[in-house]
Structure 1
Amino acid sequence: MTDTPRPTRTPTAIDAIADAYVQTSARLNPIAATAMGLPGYDHLMTDFSPAGHAAVAEAARAVLAELDGAEPVDDVDRVTLSAMRERIGLELELHAADEMLGMLNNIASPVQELRDVFDLMPTDTPEAWANIAARLEALPTAAAGVIDSLRLAASRGRVAARRQVDECVRQAEELAGSDSFFTGFVRGESVEKALAAADDAAALGSRLELGAAAARSAYGDIAAFLRDELAPLAPSEDAFGRERYQLWSRYFLGAAVDLEETYAWGLAELDRIIAEQEAVAAQIAGEGATIAQAIEVLDADPERRLGSTAELQAWMQRTADAAIDALDGVHFDIPGPLHTLECRIAPTSTGAIYYTGPSDDFSRPGRMWWSVPPGEDSSFTTWREKTTVYHEGVPGHHLQVAEAVYERATLNSWRRLACWVSGHGEGWALYAERLMAQLGFLDDPGDRLGMLDGQRMRAARVVFDIGVHLGLPCPDKWGGGTWDAAKALAFLQANVNMPEGFVRFEWMRYLGWGGQAPSYKIGQRLWEAARDEAQEGARARGEELDLKAFHARALSLGSVGLDTLREALT
């Protein structure tokens, strides 16, 4: 187990500004504080009202003004200045465009945040459950704030597409119903254990039951508002249009890219990956075999099948632990606290697979979550998912995110805990999948086909997302004419080898969260370009790139915009 001593660094005035801004952000957004693992905020709920949004924007303007008067003393400060100005400046652009006020989609909006935060909260003590009770009690006020903000955004012409509104109605109704997550949450085994240790178990149990009822009622209010008031105002058009899309693309990448060039690259990358898949399919099922025939062979292999969520969870954990043990000290130096990665089955059933980072003190470890859709909980195939474990675990998100949290001696709390750029993070995770193939961890043809299967989906997302939201011409082989939602669904069904429920969830996600899905593959492209530039620089000096040192340097920066990353590495 590697625990290499980190260099010490005296905090600077810029670090003090960044640290203070994290505390301000935690106060204004307790949900984010919980995600960061900052103590003292778990009993509070974020204010999603127009006043709450205004307070966040005002704090952003204030910290940028402070930074304008600050002088960097070293390279760490210079990266902090670049990253904060880029991130916070873009957040203000989004506020000014009412994008934050009117945020609504099927995966990453306040409708989901109000519930998802409970997955991250401690549940092992009576005090933890008292915090949960307080947050449940605060949920109706937070829901009312969400409604007020969506109403104000609508009065200014910012309403999500009807498809997204309808999906959020469905989600809210589910959370308001008798089988709500909240009902089971306050009656689970961990509650019983905590109540047994509580001084006044009856009072706490009553608070939790009443809190769950309040949460269900709050989601009922959200569902009614969305269904009766917002849906009639919602446009049928899914496309964001160029102006909105360019803003969100910059936000998710931390870089400005030529969208038409990137779209053309996405088409070419998709063709290249399909050709690589066909070559691997021949290894699996014989010369001339199709990709579909190779998949049939793999799916029929009992050695590659898991028959329950319990088996899936155990396999995920074994695979993640083995990767950490194999990579540490050879390709990466992995600090001791990062050797703990918990693999869990999520309490939701959306189909998403995701990672949540450790708390600031690592008392809550990094976790990989698998949200299994209804009816799909009895058959999983390892050949598809080994690359997913590397993506979410090590050397993917867990190494990347938890490494930044660990860099306490160098990075301020904003750099370690608060900054997340999708193109940097998701791009690294895809880069990590390819890296594992290059290092020999996916030499099994089935596992390699699984990696390519995921890469194909990510390339298809570049084409889908830019094509639909910019209204670009659709190639004849994918339907011809101009891209729209119907062509995009057929395109996904042809290029994503996953159950229909997953494909439709992803289709809905891309339509409602423009610019996010392509950030994975575009981010990978920019990460690989940064590595290639470093390799060229090394060769110009008559050397070969020390890949282990390059990765250590890059990850030690934390998550920053991809333009900032490139500047820092060069």
Structure 2
Amino acid sequence: MTDNAYTSGSDGTGAAGAPPERTPSAIDAVAEGWVTTLADLEPRLAVWIGGMPDSGGYGDLSPAGAEAYADAARRTISALDSLAPTDAVDEVTKADLRDSLALDLEEREAGMHLRDVNVIASPAQDIREVFDLMPTSTVDDWEVVSVRLGNVAGAIDGYIASLREGIRRGIVPAKRQVREVFEQAKKLADSDGFFAGLAANASPETGQLPASLASQLTGRAGEAAVAYQELADFFARELEPAAGEKDAVGRELYAIQSRKFLGATIDLDETYEWGIEELARMVAEQESIAGQIKPGAGVLEAIEFLDRDPSRKLHGTDALRTWMQETSDRAVAELSRSHFDIPEQIRALECMIAPTQEGGIYYTGPSDDFSRPGRMWWSVPEGVEEFDTWRELTTVYHEGIPGHHLQIGQAVYNRALLNTWRRQLAGTSGHAEGWALYAERLMQELGYLDDPADRLGMLDGQRMRAARVVLDIGVHLEKQLPDGSGPWTAEHAFDFMGRNVNMNAGFVRFEVNRYLGWPGQAPSYKVGQRIWEQIRDESKAREGEAFDMKSFHKRALDLGGVGLDTLRRALVG
């Protein structure tokens, strides 16, 4: 790969405005073919991308389904290997798609799909979460919802089959994850749980549903709830007794997961030591700002002072959603005038309260035709009714603009330049979440966090992300604790996290359980930010006085989602 192939015209993109038209290549055809294959293997893809016919089905979650995926991945790698890139766009597509598929095969060879149980992003959650994005405006939309409800049981059966094969082969999740997800499945199985509520509230924008469809929805929602009860029973009777006692996955599996979430290979031991140093820097910065909020105060005293300030309080989820939306709209309007080229199509971001109560905050991208806008979701835990704006201002920037929404929306917008895989499916957590943390710091630089309280809130999140680097690598590699007193354990992890975030015990419990069951994902945020900043600084050093930050951001975002090793090659060679 030549330097010019990557640096001229931001992967082929012209100046501000619509990207230039580009004749699709043979490599684009392979990438589009992979999207079609994925849609056949996993019909839910139609919902995530949007604008595609949705059969209402699920992919085969059994061992046979995993092997079908692996066969298709091998064929696609072979097709890519037979082709030479025609331009910079092709070079990025070939390198990133091939790397992604090869890592998928490595992950399957290690049997990760046979032990896929965690509290936030395993099939136990994925099967249900697709309903959050399904359109429900028309009777036809509800017909598809009904079909998918009727297919929940089959998806659960396939998932159980894979976990049973894992038991047979001795590839099992940790008991802690099984017990936590058992509780989640039980909630979904309740007679007044998610599925019952979905059916009870079914109504198109045009009026009432036909009685036959309403009855069908109710019946199939009941079947879906029963399927989740069967999953819970399987967890209790078969999986939990066979599950492992240790939370740590070990260096070999962790290295695979780290590469999966970063799209880059890092030195895990060096990163652990860097995480310790970065955490210390965050603590020192917080302590400095605390005195600006209340003279002479430490961090905890400053937080208590802010928590008593009624002007920084929101009461109820309606007030939270309204504040999120107003904050997001204001950022879009102001940043589009001065700091970013924001196409009209991605200026709409919907702020939503999620239909679940698990505690997460997340973003879902726009459909490929922008008929569904990008959305920021807040899954508010049961009983939580008060929210502090000083804590959450940076969250809106992280999930919205200039964070995830600008990043992902810009990729979708670039359809004249990027194939569907590049626009909608490519990328890693390290690329996406690293950019979002980078965007938080950028907003500080642009003056949006000049209020010391808002800056303390940003640092609270940044401190948490630094702590996660230390905790996640420490626990799963069973490294020595920072004070040298012994190896990391889950018990140390809960205590360590509690001392490094100003959140309630329920949040800390959920977060640490997430890290224990999803190795390598949590550090990808802060490590991704580190790599983004390194790439920017390398670009600045290379270009000297010609370096322009706005242009750098456009070049980077016009690439779409990529692994961080690909990003570095594309921007600095």
TM-score range, shorter chain: over 0.9
Match of 1:293 among 301, 304, 307: 301
Match of 1:307?
315
Structure 2 residue aligned with 1:372, among 380, 399, 402? 380
Would you say 1:52 and 2:80 are equivalent positions? no
Is 1:212 the equivalent of 2:212? Answer: no
Residue in structure 2 matching 1:565, options 564, 567, 573:
567
Please give the residue correspondences for 1:479-498 in structure 2 after superposition, counting only pairs within 5 Å.
Answer: 480-498=485-503
Moved over 4 A (4+): none
CA contact (8 A) 1:242 1:470 kept: yes
Distance 2:457 2:55 in 1: 39
- 1:5 is displaced (CA, Å) by 2.4
Cα displacement (A) at 1:26: 1.1
Q: Tell me the secondary structure at the aligned position of residue 112 of structure 2.
A: coil
1:187 is displaced (CA, Å) by: 1.2
Cα pair 1:3 1:336 within 8 Å, conserved: no
Q: Is the 8 A contact 2:363 2:377 kept in 1?
A: yes
SS in 1 for 2:338: coil
Aligned-pair CA distance for 1:331:
1.0
SS at match of 2:337: coil
Supply the AA of the counterpart residue of 2:381: P
- Of residues 166, 177, 196, the one that matches 2:207 is 196
Q: What does residue 551 of structure 2 align with?
A: 549
> What is the aligned counterpart of 1:178 among 169, 186, 191?
191
Structure 2 counterparts to residues 92-111 of structure 1, below 5 A: 92-111=105-124
* 1:162–1:234 CA contact under 8 A, matched in 2: yes
TM-score with structure 1 length normalisation?
0.96
Which shows bigger deviation, 146-155 or 522-531?
146-155
Matched residue, 1:460: 467
Deviation at 1:42, TM superposition (A): 4.8
SS, match of residue 329 in structure 1:
helix
Query: What SS class does the counterpart of residue 344 from structure 1 fall into?
Result: strand
- How many Å separate the matches in 2 of 1:42 and 1:315? 37
Question: Which shows bigger deviation, 417-426 or 43-52?
Answer: 43-52
Name the counterpart of 1:250. Answer: 259
Distance 1:76 1:3 in 2: 18
Query: Quick one: structure 1 residues 193 and 3, their matched pair in 2 at CA, closer, same or farther if it must change by over 3 Å?
Result: farther
Corresponding residue for residue 502 of structure 1: 507
C-alpha distance in structure 2 between counterparts of 1:290 and 1:381, whole Å: 19
Q: Check the 8 A contact 2:249/2:476 in 1, yes or no.
A: yes
Displacement after TM superposition at 1:419 (Å): 1.2
Corresponding residue for residue 279 of structure 1? 288
Could you list the per-position Cα deviations for residues 431-468 of structure 1 after superposition, in whole angstroms to 9, with x for gaps in the alignment? 00001001111011000000000000000000000000
Residue 166 of structure 2 corresponds to residue 153 of structure 1: yes
For 1:383-425, what per-residue CA distance to the aligned partner results, in whole angstroms no more than 9, with x for missing partners? Answer: 0000000000000000001110111010000100111301000
Distance 1:12 1:349 in 2: 45
Mapped to 2, the partners of 1:103 and 1:192 lie a distance apart of 35
Distance (whole Å) between structure 2 residues aligned to residue 5 and residue 419 of structure 1? 21
Instruction: Tell me, yes or no, if the aligned pair for 1:253 and 1:519 is still in contact at 8 Å.
Output: yes
Q: Which of 372, 381, 386 lines up with 2:388 in the alignment?
A: 381
1:284-433 aligned at under 5 Å gives the runs 284-286=293-295, 288-376=296-384, 378-433=385-440
Query: Alpha carbon RMSD of aligned pairs, Å?
Result: 1.2
- 1:83 Cα deviation from its structure 2 partner: 0.4
Partner of residue 436 from structure 1, selected from 439, 443, 446: 443
Q: Contact 1:254–1:560 (CA<8 Å) still a contact in 2?
A: yes
Other structure's SS at 2:44 match: helix
Contact map agreement 2:136 2:204 (CA 8 A) in 1: no
Contact 1:27 1:41 in 2 (8 A): no
Is the 8 Å Cα contact of residues 104 and 164 (structure 1) preserved in structure 2?
A: yes
Query: Residue 113 of structure 2: SS of its match in structure 1?
Result: coil
Contact 2:348/2:374 (8 A) holds in 1: yes
Q: Distance in 2 between matches of 1:29 and 1:197?
A: 31
Q: Distance in 2 between matches of 1:544 and 1:329?
A: 22
Partner SS, residue 203 of structure 2: helix
Higher mean displacement: 178-187 or 388-397: 178-187
1:260 aligned onto 2:269:
yes
Deviation at 1:33, TM superposition (A): 2.9
CA distance in 2, matches of 1:345, 1:406: 26
Residue deviations 1:177-234, cap 9 Å, x none? 122100011111xx23458355xx0111111001101100110110111110010000
Aligned to 1:10: 23
Determine the C-alpha separation between the residues in 2 that align with 1:536 and 1:563: 19
* Cα pair 2:312 2:390 within 8 Å, conserved: yes
Contact 1:173–1:219, Cα closer than 8 Å, also in 2: yes
> Residues 42 and 121 of structure 1 are in contact (CA less than 8 Å); yes or no, is this contact kept in structure 2?
no
Deviation at 1:544, TM superposition (A): 4.4
2:83 is aligned with 1:70: yes
What is the distance in 1 between the residues matched to 2:546 and 2:293? 35
Structure 2 residue identity aligned to 1:196: G
Cα displacement (A) at 1:3: 8.0
1:523 equivalenced with 2:528 (yes/no) = yes
Pick aligned residue for 2:139 from 111, 126, 132 = 126
> Which moved further from structure 2: 95-104 or 265-274?
95-104
Matched, 1:223 2:223: no
Residues 3/181 of structure 1: CA separation in 2 closer, same or farther (3 Å cut): farther
Unaligned runs of 5+ in 1: none
Structure 1 equivalent of residue 53 of structure 2: 40
Equivalent of 1:236, from 227, 230, 245? 245
Secondary structure of the residue aligned to 2:363 is strand
AA at the equivalent of 1:118:
F
Amino acid at match of 1:557: L
Conserved? CA contact 2:359–2:379, under 8 Å:
yes
Equivalent residues of 2:428, 2:563 under 8 A apart? yes
Identify which range, 325-334 or 275-284, moves more after superposition: 325-334
SS of the equivalent of 2:127 reads: helix
Equivalent in the alignment of 2:129: 116
Question: Following TM superposition, by how much is the alpha carbon of 1:38 offset from its aligned partner in structure 2, in angstroms?
Answer: 4.4
Separation in 1 of the partners of 2:427 and 2:219?
A: 35
Report the Cα distance in structure 2 between the residues aligned to 1:489 and 1:37, rounded to whole angstroms: 39
Once residues 196 and 521 of structure 2 are traced to their aligned partners in structure 1, the CA distance between those partners, rounded to angstroms, is 32
Report the CA distance shift for 1:42/1:346 in structure 2 as closer, same or farther (over 3 A).
Answer: farther
Counterpart AA for 1:133: S
Q: Helix, strand or coil for the counterpart of 1:239?
A: coil
Partner SS state of residue 196, structure 1: coil
**TM-score, reference length from structure 2:** 0.96
Q: CA deviation at 1:518?
A: 0.1
- Displacement of 1:337 in angstroms is 1.1
The Cα of 1:71 is off from its aligned counterpart by 1.0
Aligned partners of 2:406, 2:240: CA distance in 1, in Å?
42
Map of 2:151 onto structure 1: 138
Contact in 2 for aligned 1:3/1:334 (Cα 8 Å): no
Instruction: State how far apart, in whole Å, the 1-side matches of 2:447 and 2:250 are.
Output: 42
Distance in 1, matches of 2:531 and 2:176, equals 32
The Cα shift of 1:31 comes to: 2.0
Task: Give per-residue Cα distances to partners, 1:474-529, cap 9 Å, x unaligned.
Answer: 022xx821110001100000001112111110000000000000000000000000
CA distance in structure 1 between the aligned counterparts of 2:20 and 2:566, rounded to whole angstroms: 22
Between the aligned partners of 2:270 and 2:102, the Cα distance in structure 1 is: 26
1:27 to 40, 58, 65: 40
With over 3 angstroms needed to count, the CA separation of the structure-2 counterparts of 1:3 and 1:44, relative to structure 1, is farther
Question: Does the Cα contact within 8 Å between 1:34 and 1:42 map onto a contact in 2?
Answer: no
* Residue 177 (structure 2) aligns with: 164
Instruction: List per-residue Cα deviations over 1:356-387 (Å, max 9, x = no partner).
Output: 001111111100000000111x1100000000
Amino acid at match of 2:283: I
